[in-house]
Structure 1
Amino acid sequence: MTKVRMGIIGVGAQGSAYANFLTEEKVENMQLGAICDIDPAKKQWASEKYPDVPFYDNYIEMIESGEVDAIVTCVPHYLHPEMGIEALKRNVHALVEKPAGVYTKQVRELNEFAATKPELAFGIMFNQRTNPLYQKLKEIIDNGEIGEIRRTNWMITTWWRPQGYYDQSAWRATWEGEGGGVLVNQAPHQLDLLQWICGMPKKVYSNVKYGYQRNIAVEDEVTVLLDYGNGATGVFVTCTHDVVGTDRFEILGDKGKIVVDDSNKITVKRLIKPEREMSDTMSMVDVMKIFMGGNSDEIYNEEVITFESVWGAQHTAVMKNFASHILNGEPLLAPGSDGIHGVALANAIHLSSWLGKEVELPVDEELYLNELKKKIEEEQKQPLTK
């Protein structure tokens, strides 16, 4: 086998984009093997656009057809674990879209089953892990260049969505259909990057608004306080109603500070001496010199790195890496088992809001699931009219 035959389950916006990537040969070690969707209109669309590609309206039939070596799940979030397990059961490699699922219990079941099939590839579409900016950021942190992390702040409000976005599908922005709002739809990449780069917090305390600026049942405004358990803290803010939007990620360490602006520029300030040493040795006269325009070179060295990002390049990089893992054992950039971490964070943020108190990680999976079921029941009794 020189190319992996990929089967795409669900050809909405994301699935059709992947189909285009593959047919345009943007992933040289992967080809489009088959397409699956339950919408009859998609069958007509596929027959016109990809006449030589088999089409299925049942994903199990596609998996068992012999036409595909792997599948990618471009479907509502609740279905990712189920479809991943069914593919792996039939010895078909599984690449799941983000998030890995809606709640950690179902994602854990997927991870545990995947662990029984080590010969198969199991990945997740965390395409931002292939972004050179975030790879560089992780390298700086892992190398200890700014020392021990003391605080993280990420404001990511560039997810503006009008009401029409939510009105286009009945399942969108519902507890039963989607399992949440901005935390499970737009921000999973940032939740993954936050823990991938800075580590998982031990506790969260959140203030979450549901249907704050949109006619939806789920969250469109989130503010979270993170406690890393070693004195370090963090703040995470996201929403879908800021039409201007801000993307700013700050990491403060005891030996320096990193600021990421708009996901395309990193500013690193490395202290000449650790902050504690400065505190122990500098007088107030020295301090006043700093604040009155002294020579900053005596305090820190500054490096600014800019990056260019082309939409789609990071998705195809994940697909190429996934295929290379299957073909020649290249390590996965985004192992599927990592998907549970971002889901755990989202679950903890929701649960803290629902209970009105600080929540420890890992979350109580049964408690979370019971509270989620309550939200679904309330929604069924009083559905919103979009």
Structure 2
Amino acid sequence: MNKVRFGIIGMGNMGRFHADYLLKGQVARAELTAVSDSYAPNLAAYSQLKTFDSSEALIRSGSVDAVIIATPHFLHTTIGIDALQHGLHVLVEKPISVHKADCERLLAAHTDKRLVFAAMFQQRTDPRYKRIKHLIASGELGQIVRTNWIVTDWYRTEAYYASGGWRATWKGEGGGVLLNQCPHNLDMLIWLAGAPCRVRGFCQLGRYHNIEVEDNVTAYFEYPNGGTGVFITSTGEAPGTNRLEIVGERGRLVLEGGRISFTRNEVSMLEFSKTSKAGFARPEIWNVEIPAPNTGAAHHEITQNFVDAILDGAPLISPAAEGMHSVELANAILYSSLTQQTIELPLDGAAYEAKLNQLIAESRFEKKVVQATAEDFTKSFSR
């Protein structure tokens, strides 16, 4: 095989976005040959391709070598399992599943390791995050002692939530801002600083919108090394803030406004505290501006890496197995809030699944769907 034939399952906003860059030839050695959607009007623009009204038909068609799954979240698990079991390479949109137990089911279906299975975490290609990861991995920051991410610029209107019957419902989406907007942020936080071991979440359900899921969140983290963290997010706050701060013994990294600032301690603050003879002394600091192109993340780079992994065996930037981490953390934050308890990680996936099923069964929320005005949703990608 010298070219990967792609099929896209789910031709909503994200499916059309993936189709656009594939049809423009932005991914080398890739060809979009088929698309599927249960809503016929979504297929009208793709008459030059093979079109299917179900994922099952596309998966069994023999027309594709790989699929991109861009459906509502709950379908990621069942469609992903079906595609893997029928010998297709799979690239799944975030989140890879709604909850940890479904993640485990999906990952368990990846028994044929010749098949490439990846997740669409395109923020890992952002030069700014790559530079921060390099600084941490190289030891420039030393031991991490605190993380703080305020990402409240995920503003969404009532029209956004009313644009689809599945949106912002326990049954249709399985959660709110943590599961829809923040998988990338949570993935980045874990990718950069590691996973916390204890979580206490405070989630407000429908604080700013007529929805039944969380749209305002504050979470506290504890890390295995004794470090702490705070994560704050919302879809109801404008203008909002996006500030990532990572503090290590050798200084403080801040990403805000597209710029990385590094206030570097000349010596470790931990060692300085132990050895200094003066009570009010502080380590000398250097203020460093870290250059990193503000080009943002690119979905097509993840897809290119996926193709390269299929054809050349290239290592994946975002293996699907790592996609479970952000889902687990999102689940833990929400579960902590719902039970008003601190949650130890790893999360009991079965317990959370039972709680989510209870929320679905007890829901009396009636969703009003209104046709939204067409607009460029890609403006929301840069986070």
Q: Alignment partner for residue 268 of structure 1, among 254, 262, 274?
A: 262
Structure-2 residue corresponding to 1:30: 30
Contact 1:73–1:80 at 8 Å: present in 2 too?
Answer: yes
Contact 1:217–1:384 at 8 Å: present in 2 too?
Answer: no
Give the secondary structure class of the aligned counterpart of 1:60. Answer: helix
Deviation at 1:277, TM superposition (A): 2.5
Structure-1 residue corresponding to 2:232: 237
- State whether structure 2 residue 73 is matched by structure 1 residue 77: yes
Deviations 1:2-43 (A, max 9, x none): 221110001111110111101111112211120100101123
Q: Alignment partner for residue 61 of structure 1, among 41, 49, 57?
A: 57
Q: Give the Cα–Cα distance (whole angstroms) in 2 for the partners of residues 281 and 308 of structure 1.
A: 39
Deviations 1:314-347 (A, max 9, x none): 1000000000000001100000111110000011
Q: Which has the larger radius of gyration?
A: 1
Contact 2:265–2:286 at 8 Å: present in 1 too?
Answer: yes
Q: Give the Cα–Cα distance (whole angstroms) in 2 for the partners of residues 308 and 33 of structure 1.
A: 34
Structure-2 residue corresponding to 1:211: 206
Give the secondary structure class of the aligned counterpart of 2:31. Answer: strand
Aligned residues: 369
Deviation at 1:246, TM superposition (A): 0.8
Which blocks of at least 5 consecutive residues in structure 1 are unaligned? 291-297
Q: Alignment partner for residue 87 of structure 2, among 72, 86, 91?
A: 91
- State whether structure 2 residue 197 is matched by structure 1 residue 202: yes
Which residues of 2 match residues 1-386 of structure 1 at below 5 A?
1-47=1-47, 51=48, 53-114=49-110, 116-262=111-257, 264-284=258-278, 287=281, 299-310=284-295, 314-379=298-363, 381-385=364-368
Structure-2 residue corresponding to 1:294: none
Q: Give the Cα–Cα distance (whole angstroms) in 1 for the partners of residues 79 and 294 of structure 2.
A: 31
Structure-2 residue corresponding to 1:295: none
Question: Letter of the aligned partner of 2:75 in structure 1?
Answer: L
Deviation at 1:269, TM superposition (A): 2.1
Q: Give the Cα–Cα distance (whole angstroms) in 2 for the partners of residues 382 and 90 of structure 1.
A: 37
Q: Give the Cα–Cα distance (whole angstroms) in 2 for the partners of residues 332 and 229 of structure 1.
A: 27
CA RMSD in angstroms comes to 1.5
Give the secondary structure class of the aligned counterpart of 1:183. Answer: helix
Q: What is the TM-score with the length of structure 1 in the denominator?
A: 0.92
Deviations 1:99-126 (A, max 9, x none): 0111111111111221x11000000000
4+ residue segments displaced more than 6 Å: none
Contact 1:94–1:121 at 8 Å: present in 2 too?
Answer: yes
Question: Letter of the aligned partner of 1:193 in structure 2?
Answer: M
Q: Give the Cα–Cα distance (whole angstroms) in 2 for the partners of residues 35 and 232 of structure 1.
A: 46
Q: Give the Cα–Cα distance (whole angstroms) in 2 for the partners of residues 83 and 6 of structure 1.
A: 15
Q: Give the Cα–Cα distance (whole angstroms) in 2 for the partners of residues 341 and 308 of structure 1.
A: 28
Question: Letter of the aligned partner of 1:107 in structure 2?
Answer: C
Contact 2:254–2:260 at 8 Å: present in 1 too?
Answer: yes
Deviation at 1:282, TM superposition (A): 3.5
Contact 1:247–1:261 at 8 Å: present in 2 too?
Answer: yes
Question: Letter of the aligned partner of 1:324 in structure 2?
Answer: D
Farther-moved stretch of structure 1 (60-69 vs 118-127): 60-69
Deviations 1:41-63 (A, max 9, x none): 1232322xxx2x10011111111
Question: Letter of the aligned partner of 1:70 in structure 2?
Answer: A
Deviations 1:166-197 (A, max 9, x none): 01111111000001000010010010011111
Farther-moved stretch of structure 1 (102-111 vs 300-309): 300-309
Q: Give the Cα–Cα distance (whole angstroms) in 2 for the partners of residues 335 and 285 of structure 1.
A: 48
Question: Letter of the aligned partner of 2:366 in structure 1?
Answer: P
Give the secondary structure class of the aligned counterpart of 1:374. Answer: helix
Question: Letter of the aligned partner of 2:101 in structure 1?
Answer: K
Give the secondary structure class of the aligned counterpart of 2:148. Answer: strand
Contact 2:128–2:294 at 8 Å: present in 1 too?
Answer: no
Q: Give the Cα–Cα distance (whole angstroms) in 2 for the partners of residues 337 and 81 of structure 1.
A: 13
Farther-moved stretch of structure 1 (274-283 vs 244-253): 274-283
Question: Letter of the aligned partner of 1:161 in structure 2?
Answer: R
Q: What is the TM-score with the length of structure 2 in the denominator?
A: 0.93
Deviations 1:59-109 (A, max 9, x none): 111112111110011001111121111111111100010001111111111
Question: Letter of the aligned partner of 1:119 in structure 2?
Answer: R
Deviation at 1:384, TM superposition (A): 4.7
Identity of aligned residues (%): 40
